[in-house]
Amino acid sequence: MGDILALVEHRRGEIRDATFEVMTCGRKLADQTGSRLTAVLLGSDTDAMVTSLKRHAHRILVVDDPAFKDFNNEFYRAALADIVAREQPLMTLVGHTAYGIEVASALGAELDVPFTTDCISVEMADDRPVAVRQVYDGKLNERVSFREAPSYLVSLRAGATAAEEGDADGEVVALETPPLPDPAHLKFLDYIEAVTGDVDITKADIVVSVGRGIKEEKNIPLVEEFAGAIGGVLACSRPVADAEWLPKDRLVGSSGKTIKPKLYIAIGISGSFQHLTGMKNSDTIIAINKDPEAPIFNEADYGIVDDLFKVLPALKNSIAEMKQ
């Protein structure tokens, strides 16, 4: 069987977390199929990145060229198509990220290979890959089999797999830059950082996050006072940011910030995968929700199943007593 290829995603010379998750899945597939996990690194000044990849892959194909300094879908697609055609991998894995989705859909169309998106895992069943995806807002998992093909393409949801340490000692193979589109239609111009307000939630040790369960904007101060009482900063889920009850820079999740505080308290938040992606690596997670079946409790270390409008005043009083 062919190797498992994994596309390395990087930004400003740093490998993105999603890549190590993709490689963890790739190593498991390689073990199951008796093949190798081959990382594909398209970058510029790649030495440091290669060093951090070595443990994670059995082989690292490196194209080091200024054309790959920043993500450019035209160049990535052309280089990957060339590498996939030559390597004939069993499967190519990419992160289901903004970059990954863009390049993989173009690649799938160009190579005419079956492409399954936003998978939470991939495994082998009777020598054929089976991908697992979530449907109905994460309530059900579906198993997707592929039409028979020489090669397959899968994008893996960021945050769905924990990145594990590898113990490989990847062989590094330098490749010539494949022919790139000329003239190119896309040009990388600049990174534009999201505006950060007066509070940077990525730097806080304690984050108190509020969701739709708070019901109305006028109730936000209840959570804000609680956050202040325990020395935390206030963050939120998407409905709260969309309603502009809190600014967008407080949003936690796939379309907001990814944070890893010492303590994350989720109040009136159900725990959608888009939200969990942004906070599941917090050291300790406490959830307050009146629904015992809320998915947030699957991630929480401690949970309070009750009405937040009862719980928060009680907690605030206890803290005030403790401080006396």
Ligand X SMILES: Cc1cc2nc3c(=O)[nH]c(=O)nc-3n(C[C@H](O)[C@H](O)[C@H](O)COP(=O)(O)OP(=O)(O)OC[C@H]3O[C@@H](n4cnc5c(N)ncnc54)[C@H](O)[C@@H]3O)c2cc1C
| Chain residues in the site for ligand X (CB under 6 A) | 211-213, 237-239, 251-256, 268-270, 272, 274-275, 278, 288-291, 294, 307-309
Residue 7: how many other CB atoms lie within 10 Å: 25
How far apart, in whole angstroms, are the C-alpha atoms of residue 112 and residue 152?
9
* Helix or strand (DSSP H, E) at 233: strand 233-236
Classify the C-alpha dihedral 202-208-209-210 as positive or negative: negative
Residue 110: how many other CB atoms lie within 10 Å: 14
Q: Cβ closer to ligand X: 60 or 300?
A: 300
Classify the C-alpha dihedral 297-303-307-312 as positive or negative: negative
Q: How far is the CB of 71 from ligand X (least distance, A)?
A: 20
* SS3 readout for 109-145: HHHCCCEEEEEEEEEEECCEEEEEEEECCCCEEEEEE
Q: How far is the CB of 43 from ligand X (least distance, A)?
A: 28
What is the per-residue burial (b if ≥16 Cβ within 10 Å, else e) of 261-284?
Answer: bebbbbbbbbbbbbbbbbbbbbee
3-state secondary structure of 218: helix
Q: Cβ closer to ligand X: 121 or 274?
A: 274
Q: Cβ closer to ligand X: 85 or 314?
A: 314
Pure H helices in the chain: 17-33, 47-53, 73-87, 98-111, 220-229, 238-242, 273-279, 296-299, 308-323
Q: How far is the CB of 270 from ligand X (least distance, A)?
A: 3
Q: Cβ closer to ligand X: 5 or 294?
A: 294
Q: Cβ closer to ligand X: 8 or 266?
A: 266
Q: How far is the CB of 204 from ligand X (least distance, A)?
A: 17
Q: Cβ closer to ligand X: 39 or 214?
A: 214
Q: How far is the CB of 294 from ligand X (least distance, A)?
A: 4
Q: How far is the CB of 148 from ligand X (least distance, A)?
A: 32
Q: How far is the CB of 88 from ligand X (least distance, A)?
A: 34
Give the residue from 7, 183, 170, 187 showing the smallest Cα distance to 81.
Answer: 7
Phi then psi for residue 230, to 5 deg, are -105, 10
Q: Cβ closer to ligand X: 183 or 292?
A: 292
